Amino acid sequence: MKIVDIIASPGLTGFYFDDQQAIKAGAGHDGFTYTGEPMTPGFKAVRQRGESISVMLILEDGQVASGDCAAVQYSGAGGRDPLFLAEEFIPIILEEIAPKLLGQELDSFRHLVGLVENSKRPNGDRYHTAIRYGVSQAILDAVAKAKKKTMTEVILEEYDLPMILEPVPIFAQTGDDRYDNADKAIIKRAGVLPHALINNVETKLGVNGELLLDYVTWLRDRILTIGGDDYRPVLHIDVYGTIGIAFKDDTQKMAEYFAKLEKAAAPLHLRIEGPMDAGSTEGQIAQLKALRAALKERGVKVEIVADEWCNTYEDIVEFVDAQAADMVQIKTPDLGGIQNTIEAVIYAKKYGVGAYVGGSCNETDAGGRTAVHVALASRPDQMLAKPGMGVDEGYMIVHNEMNRTLALLRRKASSR
């Protein structure tokens, strides 16, 4: 089965592009948008619509395989690729990527994605991570269609992984509506919640961390009140470096604050993502290691999750090798081709570091469904419900795709 044609169409994502630099600097709110001037190159506003590109591979038998190119909400921040706009990148896909794939036999996912991942643009640059991400999704879908298998099975076979017919915990993110959406996640019995979008010191963390401390206390009480005696999810909160800002990167003061958060969360387990932003991969590794050591010295069991400056497969290897975090977020669009996400999960698990198949609210339903197959095959500790920030939609997409796939795989396993 060969690829006979490639087409692309512009699309929208499940959220928005936000200028993280401007938000951290205090951009004001006006309804659902932000006020003030953008600060990150490429942005025309602090918040603008998220854009995607659907890549469709036409197969010899008329089947259509597809994947969506998309970039993260905070594009251009923390060492990530710049803003991804459909009008700018569709010509690159059709003129530069398509010739590499047309006529190719759909016999190996890993071989085909390598044709894109390892190639360069005429100017010598690598292709934008969003392009590599979406095209790799389409290739995986195409190989699965050619072989009449699920995408999970293709990954299991090509990476020689064991089939485990159990769901992967799903992480629901609330966005700024961190109270009502936390209720939604609790009612749906998400395995991990709430993310909470703590991206500003004064309005969300508190200058001494008091706002987040109050929120964690409320969240624990809310889960124990409406969740039932048999529901004990993991609390996972992304603070976008604000704890480092509030405590001036003083490791000891940060560790003392983590101890307070742990007490507020008990009996629930707590993870904090991105406690500080050191401005570089090397600096981030050093600061996270120092914080982990300080927490261990105090007996604080709050886990640290690496995000900023841990963007590529190579970055993840560095963080894992340094044992700089308890868990790494493998932010799928930032890694380019999804084969990098698969390999990053395998690498982290090999060396005893938690793996989180994440991504962004600013993806599409296609990216969310493909990530389910990646997770079911590679077995991370958790995966993100995506896209969007409304809980319901993203959780439904990921949860249902996971259950559908498990049902199919169980049927096949029982018939052997």
Determine, yes or no, domain membership for 62.
yes
User: pLDDT per residue over 350-373, tens digit each?
Assistant: 999 999 999 999 999 999 999 999
The β-bridge relationship of strands 29-30 and 270-273 is unpaired
CATH number, position 244: 3.20.20.120
To the question of whether residue 173 is assigned a binding role by annotation, the answer is yes
Verify that 213 and 139 share a domain, yes or no. Answer: no
* Closest residue by Cα to residue 300 from 319, 317, 275, 329: 275
Say what the pLDDT of residue 5 is.
98
Say what the pLDDT of residue 77 is.
78
To the question of whether residue 117 is assigned a binding role by annotation, the answer is no
Verify that 268 and 361 share a domain, yes or no. Answer: yes
Say what the pLDDT of residue 29 is.
86
Verify that 367 and 233 share a domain, yes or no. Answer: yes
Determine, yes or no, domain membership for 98.
yes
Verify that 189 and 274 share a domain, yes or no. Answer: yes
Determine, yes or no, domain membership for 165.
no
User: pLDDT per residue over 103-126, tens digit each?
Assistant: 999 999 999 999 999 999 999 999
Which residue stretches of the chain have pLDDT < 70? 78
User: pLDDT per residue over 280-330, tens digit each?
Assistant: 999 999 999 999 999 999 999 999 999 989 989 999 999 999 999 999 999
To the question of whether residue 339 is assigned a binding role by annotation, the answer is no
CATH number, position 118: 3.30.390.10
Quote the CA–CA distance of 348 and 327 in Å, as a whole number. 8
Write down the catalytic residue from 331, 349, 350, 386.
331
Those residues whose C-beta lies under 8 Å from the C-beta of residue 135, and which sit 6 or more positions away, are 55, 67, 69, 93, 97, 101, 113, 116, 337
Say what the pLDDT of residue 26 is.
86
Please indicate whether residue 331 is annotated as part of the active site: yes
Verify that 193 and 146 share a domain, yes or no. Answer: no
Say what the pLDDT of residue 132 is.
97
Say what the pLDDT of residue 416 is.
77
To the question of whether residue 250 is assigned a binding role by annotation, the answer is no
Verify that 190 and 139 share a domain, yes or no. Answer: no
Q: What are phi and psi of 200, to 5 degrees?
A: -145, 135
To the question of whether residue 21 is assigned a binding role by annotation, the answer is no
Quote the CA–CA distance of 17 and 361 in Å, as a whole number. 10
Verify that 85 and 220 share a domain, yes or no. Answer: no
348 and 360 Cβ atoms separated by less than 8 Å: no
Say what the pLDDT of residue 394 is.
97
Verify that 50 and 149 share a domain, yes or no. Answer: yes
pTM for this structure?
0.95
| Domain count across the chain | 2
Verify that 228 and 356 share a domain, yes or no. Answer: yes
- Could you list the residue range(s) of the whole structural domain that residue 114 is in? 2-159
Say what the pLDDT of residue 74 is.
86
Quote the CA–CA distance of 118 and 239 in Å, as a whole number. 34
Which residue is listed with tokens 């932000």? 34
Among residues 111, 138, 159, the one where a domain terminates is 159
Identify residue 329 by its one-letter amino acid code: Q
Verify that 76 and 19 share a domain, yes or no. Answer: yes
